[in-house]
Amino acid sequence: MGEEAENGMRTNTDPEAQAENLTFTAVACSGEREMGVRSQQWPWFAILVRTNSEKTANLLLENSGYECFLPASKSIRRWSDRTKAIEMPLFPGYLFCRMNPHNRLTVLMTPGVMQIVGVSETPIPVEEEEIEAIQQVQKSGLPAMPWPYMQIGNVAQIVDGPLRGLTGIIVKIKSGINVVLSVSLLQRSVAVEVQRNWIGEVQTGKPAEISARHRRQSPLLTNAVRLDAMAGVSDETIQAD
Residue 68 CB contacts under 8 Å (≥ 6 apart), including other chains: 58, 61, 62, 95, 96, 97, 98
Determine the Cα–Cα distance for residues 77 and 93; give it in Å rounded to an integer. 21
How do residues 76-122 score in pLDDT, each as one tens digit?
A: 778 878 888 888 999 999 999 999 999 999 999 999 999 999 998 89
If residue 87 lies in a helix (H) or strand (E), which one and from where to where?
Answer: strand 83-89
Model confidence at 167: pLDDT above 60: yes
Distance CA 181, CA 116 (A): 22
Q: What angle is formed at CA 225 by the lines to CA 229 and CA 235, rounded to 5 degrees? A: 20
Decide if 47 contacts 113 (C-beta within 8 A): yes
pLDDT score for 199 = 95
Q: How far apart are CA 160 and CA 34, in angstroms?
A: 42
Output the pTM of the full model: 0.72
| pLDDT over threshold 90, residue 25 | no
For position 236, what pLDDT does the model report?
Answer: 47
Compute the mean pLDDT over every residue in the chain, rounded to the nearest whole number: 80
Which residue, among 211, 212, 213, 166, has the nearest Cα to 190 in the 3D structure?
166
Give the pLDDT of residue 125. 98
Neighbouring CB atoms inside 10 A of 85's CB total 8
Domain ranges of the chain: 41-126, 127-241
Select the CATH number that applies to the domain covering 41-126 from these four: 3.30.70.940, 3.40.50.1820, 2.60.40.2480, 3.30.70.270.
3.30.70.940
185 forms beta bridges with: none
Contact (Cβ atoms closer than 8 angstroms) between residue 146 and residue 90 = yes
221 CB neighbour count, 10 Å cutoff: 20
What 132-141 contacts at long range (C-beta under 8 Å, 24+ apart), as own/partner pairs, is 133/166, 133/168, 133/181, 134/69, 134/71, 134/90, 134/181, 134/183, 134/190, 135/69, 135/71, 136/162, 136/163, 136/165, 136/166, 137/71, 137/163, 137/181, 137/190, 137/192, 138/71, 138/72, 140/192
